[in-house]
Amino acid sequence: MTELCKYPSLIDWAINSHALEDTPTAASRKRALLEDINRALDTNYSEPHLNNWLRGSKPTPQRVWRYLTLMLIEAEVSFDHPALGSELVRLLELNETEAKGKT
């Protein structure tokens, strides 16, 4: 479990906690995160999109926010506390098929 307070945004958390073993640099983590987002949501976002979301100059699309929120809950909560993770997903009205755009 990471210290979530050290990340100023959900996007920053996703980049800096994403596949650290396989992607040692920030640029490689950004590319890997974009590949995951595009594959999961069937989108075609590029690095400028991610940079805009990271800077806050453009809002993170709701589908992306929901997908990353699910990633965070799975990685930071559900692993150690499955019931709490399930409750957070329920309270936030998230579900994987909706977040991944398959509804």
Residue found by looking up tokens 């979530």 in the block: 4
- CA 73-55-14 angle, to 5 degrees, is 25
**Higher per-residue confidence, 99 vs 49:** 49
Alpha-carbon distance of 21 to 52, in angstroms, equals: 26
Confidence label for 15 from pLDDT (cuts 50, 70 and 90): confident
> Is residue 17 within 8 Å of 2, Cβ to Cβ?
yes
Which residues have CB under 8 Å from 69's CB, separation 6+? Answer: 10, 92, 94, 99
84: containing domain: 9-99
* Domain-located, residue 4: no
Amino acid symbol at 63: R
> Is 59 inside any structural domain?
yes
Domain total of the chain: 1
Whole-number pLDDT of residue 101: 53
Q: Whole-number mean pLDDT of the chain?
A: 84
User: With bands split at pLDDT 50, 70 and 90, how would you rate the model's confidence at 103?
Assistant: very low
Assess if residue 1 is contained within a domain.
Answer: no
Site of tokens 């640099």: 25
Q: What is the pLDDT of residue 59?
A: 94
Predicted model pTM: 0.80
In the chain, the percentage of residues whose pLDDT exceeds 70 is 85
> Could you give the residue ranges of the DSSP H alpha helices within the chain?
10-16, 26-41, 47-55, 62-73, 82-91, 96-99
Q: What is the mean pLDDT of residues 78-88?
A: 87
More confident position, 33 or 4: 33
